[in-house]
């Protein structure tokens, strides 16, 4: 589909594994840690420098386990000015259609508070590619 994706790890149980992944992939800080089996901003933290990874990983993992029953955390590149765009797809096992995109970038405490559909400011060519 020629859609750019971020480098991201699988779910991990140890900060040392996360740091090894970051080094192996040549990832730069800041990074985002996220609960592998969560949502709603729970078990999530931005890590600005390598020396903060251990503590942030531990906090995210504990919150993930308390909130979702699973402690796994993954790491990905943090994009401070990213837009949160979601595309709705509906299928019946044979046919699949999209019902356009929505912009969920307006957030409060890492939770969506406003969803705009269709996304304002999206270039028609980008909409067609998506």
The tens place of each residue's pLDDT in the chain, 130 residues long, gives: 677 788 889 899 999 999 999 999 999 999 999 999 988 788 899 999 999 999 999 999 999 999 999 999 999 998 887 777 888 889 999 999 988 888 877 666 666 667 788 888 888 888 888 7
Phi, psi of 33 (to 5 degrees): -100, 135
Q: Let me know: does 43 contact 63? Beta carbons within 8 Å.
A: yes
What number of other Cβ atoms are within 10 A of residue 34's Cβ? Answer: 21
pTM summary value: 0.73
SS3 48: coil
């Amino acid at each position: 589909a020629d859609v750019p994706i971020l480098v991201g790890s699988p779910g991990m149980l140890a900060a040392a594994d996360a740091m090894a992944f970051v080094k192996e992939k040549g990832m730069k800080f800041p990074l985002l840690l996220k609960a592998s089996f969560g949502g709603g901003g729970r078990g999530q933290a931005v890590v600005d420098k390598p020396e903060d990874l251990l503590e942030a990983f531990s906090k995210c993992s504990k919150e993930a386990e308390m909130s979702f029953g699973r402690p796994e955390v993954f790491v990905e590149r943090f994009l401070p000015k990213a837009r949160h765009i979601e595309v709705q797809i509906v299928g019946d096992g044979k046919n699949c259609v999209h019902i356009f995109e929505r912009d969920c970038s307006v957030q409060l405490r890492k939770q969506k508070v406003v969803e705009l559909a269709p996304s304002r400011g999206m270039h028609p060519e980008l909409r067609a590619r998506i």
